Amino acid sequence: MSKIKPSKGAPYACILGVGGYRPTRVVPNEVILETIDSSDEWIRSRSGIVTRHWASEEETVAMMSIEASGKAIADAGIDPEQIGAVVVSTVSHFKQTPAVATEIAHKIGSGKPAAFDISAGCAGFGYGLTLAKGMIVEGSAEYVLVIGVERLSDLTDLEDRATAFLFGDGAGAVVVGPSQEPAIGPTVWGSEGDKSETIKQTVSWNELHIGDVSRLPLDSKGEIKFPAITQEGQAVFRWAVYEMAKVAQQALDAAGISSEDLDVFIPHQANMRIIDSMVKTLKLPEHVTVARDIESTGNTSAASIPLAMERLLATGQAKSGDTALVIGFGAGLVYAATVVTLP
């Protein structure tokens, strides 16, 4: 018989507050067209993107996260010192160590919480939310700060016609805390590593370090290109539309609800065509509000779901207590979907 005492966590967990930060610089499609042979009409029809935000030198991954976290903590009505863990999902923090989560935890005044980064691409927010829920129910933290943050402009090849227009920067954060009733459903998550080549970094940091020009991509001026994100657009589109609609339905089933019970649908803001196709495949009712933040924010990977959630609540398109289906999917290929009650 085990001598370990049972955990004394909360019966359930919930999202208590949400915050977001978008860089001040707004970049229209016309700027993208300076480096690729395309048109504003083509970009809009292919992705739904009209503008995106790009960070300045001062708007670092840490700075944007701190701003978003402050808003989420205030929205949750708790003190920073009550945060027991900080989980940051990002692929664009370029220091291998230490984790940016430790800097954020210190600068928001949260004391000495557990703090770590995770890398799960566009599904990262869902992964972080699941970890937070587990910590609260297990009892290792009372409140957990979950952040999705990206500076994807640093990983964008502006000469790549397939991706130059897609990516934006920003940070979204939520505070997860104890609840007396279910407010974050079971997570349906997984990976399909056999498809990992469909979304990837062009070259590894090690190859860049070696500096062998024969092994590195060059730009139109013959200079070595910085590593960037590339993808096989059609393969990603088919996977997201057909396979992720199945995952979304599984999340609804796991939560014990139907699409009729939904108030809001917040998918990863990857592409407007993907979003519209998922809505059609899932046969969502007309009353369900659908997040389409990609139009003005672009694809911000791990930040896209909390940023979209924050905007829906701030604009009144969604309200506290609404039932929302959230799903993230991307590089890996990885995915995570769950049903939540909005704060």
Positions annotated as catalytic residues are 122, 268, 299
Cα–Cα distance for residue pair 245/194, rounded to 1 Å: 19
CB–CB of 333/7 below 8 Å? no
Please enumerate in sequence order all residues whose Cβ is within 8 A of that of 134, keeping only pairs 6 or more positions apart, or say none.
none
Q: Residue for token digits 């600068």?
A: 107
The SS3 of residue 140 is coil
CB–CB of 283/38 below 8 Å? no
Cα–Cα distance for residue pair 118/48, rounded to 1 Å: 29
Beta bridge partners of 255: none
Q: What is the largest CA-CA distance in the chain?
A: 69
CB–CB of 122/72 below 8 Å? no
Using CA atoms of 245, 246, 251, 252 in order, give the dihedral in degrees to the nearest 10. 80
Q: Which has the closest alpha carbon to 92: 199, 198, 168?
A: 168
CB–CB of 18/313 below 8 Å? yes
